[in-house]
Amino acid sequence: MDAVGAGGGPEGDCPGTDGTPTLVIIGANPTVARAAETLPGTLIHVQRPGAPELDPGTRVLTVDFEDLPAFLAFTDEVLRPLRPTAVVSLTEFGLEPAALAARRLGVAGVDPAVVRTTRDKLEMRRVLEREAPHLNPAFAAGDDAAAVSRLFAAHGRVVAKPVDGVGSTAIALVDDLDALPADRRTAATLLEQFAEGREFSVEALSSEGRHTVIGIAEKGTTDGFVEVSHMMPPPSLDQGRQELVGRAVGELLDALGVTDGPSHTEVKVDGDKIIVIETHTRLGGDGIADLVRLTTGVDWRHAALGWAIDAGIRQAPATAAAAATVFLTASPGRVTAVAPRPVLARGDVHTWDLHVRPGAAVQPLRSSADRLGMAVLTAADTDSCAAAVAELTALPVVVTAPEPHL
């Protein structure tokens, strides 16, 4: 697998009927939409009713793209006459609609079968079992009682997760078969051997089957698997192991049939052993695109949208040697105090976004949606970045008083 800067596709426009491309983007948030404004050609956004408004002057069409029959009718009746060059999405629930629309219109986009495989965690495991078993943990479908029993007998600690889950929702570590609830013994649950080691996420861009690593971030998670930090470059991976991770991700993408477009892959690394946790045909969330821009100069959102119209990789000088996103959390209860933006000893607070105030209710941290805000930190090196993350994490930014019903 290549490193960033080694390629990324040819520069220039993909011509439409008037010599410029027309790109349809499904479900963009305002940040993605602003990044899209730097692309060549015509942009058309497709948004669900009630979605956050985009900047004035943005061309927006409205349809519930999660209602696939209605969306495919919309594709035929509304999008087809516009003669788009490509249809893409960077939001999880827009990935399959965008792929289906691109296939239906015969334009550039991700293969719908690939999207389905990456979004179905059990199917992804089955593909890897055939094509790259060394990247898989042991696993079982929740409704296969015999396989579930063998999994617990052989490995003890098992992770239970929804087959189609997102946002670290409803993931649990189960230590004993008897502790596995009945509602996890269904086809909707994937059970996996707990993988040891540190966790990393890998951003990559593929072009005609060639995979370029854009960046690798080291993840911090709670015991409940909710992500609370990302650091780039990864402090715990030397250059040799970064190359091992890149090769493993390339094997994964080849096995799944990913040939073009962005991907976000989560892996566990234990020595030289690499286990794939999951992958997505989009860039990573949680501000990872900002870490890529700060530490490599690559506008990752621009590249993750523009690949379909041959817009290339736009890269400026890096502005930070190391950067991190840190998610602010607090104990369940009622907020009694909120600290101001801090000054850190080993790093700088680049961005501060805290959206709770005194009196607000804080729920238990069960998924990404329960986090209270995010900071982006920059530092002079990876050691300083790790120290800044630890310093901010230890600060009582949000103070709560317990309430029995929360």
Residues in the chain: 406
* Together in a domain, 27 and 112: yes
Q: Is the pTM of this model over 0.85?
A: yes
Q: What is the mean pLDDT of residues 81-98?
A: 97
pLDDT beyond 50 at 34:
yes
Q: How far apart are CA 195 and CA 193, in angstroms?
A: 6
- The token duo for 212 is 């370029």
Strand ranges (E), 51-125: 60-62, 86-89
- What residue type is 289 in one-letter code? A
* Together in a domain, 326 and 376: yes
Give the pLDDT score at 8.
32
Q: How far apart are CA 85 and CA 260, in angstroms?
A: 15
pLDDT beyond 80 at 9:
no
- The token duo for 186 is 């269904």
Overall domain count for the chain: 3
Phi, psi of 336 (to 5 degrees): -105, -25
392 located within any domain: yes
- The token duo for 178 is 């008897």
84 located within any domain: yes
Cβ pair 23, 45 in contact under 8 A: no
**Of the residues 55, 87, 117, which one is the last residue of a structural domain?**
117
pLDDT beyond 70 at 120:
yes
179 located within any domain: yes
* Together in a domain, 42 and 95: yes
* Together in a domain, 110 and 142: no
Q: What is the mean pLDDT of residues 366-379?
A: 94
287 located within any domain: no
CATH number of 185's domain? 3.30.1490
Give the pLDDT score at 18.
59
Q: How confident is the model at residue 3 (pLDDT cuts 50, 70, 90)?
A: low
- Residue 272 CB neighbours (<10 A): 8
User: What mean pLDDT value characterizes the chain?
Assistant: 92
* Together in a domain, 157 and 89: no
Give the pLDDT score at 171.
87
248 located within any domain: no
322-328 vs 333-338, strand pairing mode: unpaired
Cβ pair 371, 216 in contact under 8 A: no
Q: What is the mean pLDDT of residues 115-143?
A: 96
Q: What is the mean pLDDT of residues 250-279?
A: 97
294 in helix, strand or coil? helix
**Of the residues 55, 88, 117, which one is the last residue of a structural domain?**
117
**Of the residues 193, 212, 237, which one is the last residue of a structural domain?**
193
* Together in a domain, 340 and 389: yes
* Together in a domain, 111 and 9: yes
Q: How far apart are CA 377 and CA 76, in angstroms?
A: 45
* Together in a domain, 86 and 172: no
Q: What is the mean pLDDT of residues 255-267?
A: 97
74 located within any domain: yes
Q: How far apart are CA 32 and CA 51, in angstroms?
A: 13
DSSP 290: H
* Together in a domain, 10 and 107: yes
Q: How far apart are CA 329 and CA 220, in angstroms?
A: 13
pLDDT beyond 80 at 224:
no
CATH number of 46's domain? 3.40.50.20
Asked which of 161-170, 246-255, 280-289 is least confident by mean pLDDT, the reply is 161-170
* Together in a domain, 8 and 112: yes
* Together in a domain, 9 and 91: yes
85 located within any domain: yes
Q: How far apart are CA 379 and CA 323, in angstroms?
A: 6
* Together in a domain, 38 and 74: yes
Question: Within 13 Å, how many C-alpha atoms sit on residue 273's CB side?
Answer: 9
Asked which of 25-29, 127-131, 223-227 is least confident by mean pLDDT, the reply is 223-227
- Give just the sign of the alpha carbon dihedral 202, 253, 6, 106: negative
270 located within any domain: no
Q: Is 190 exposed, middle or buried (0-12, 13-18, 19+ CB in 10 A)?
A: buried
Show the domain range for 363. Answer: 320-406
Q: What is the mean pLDDT of residues 378-394?
A: 96
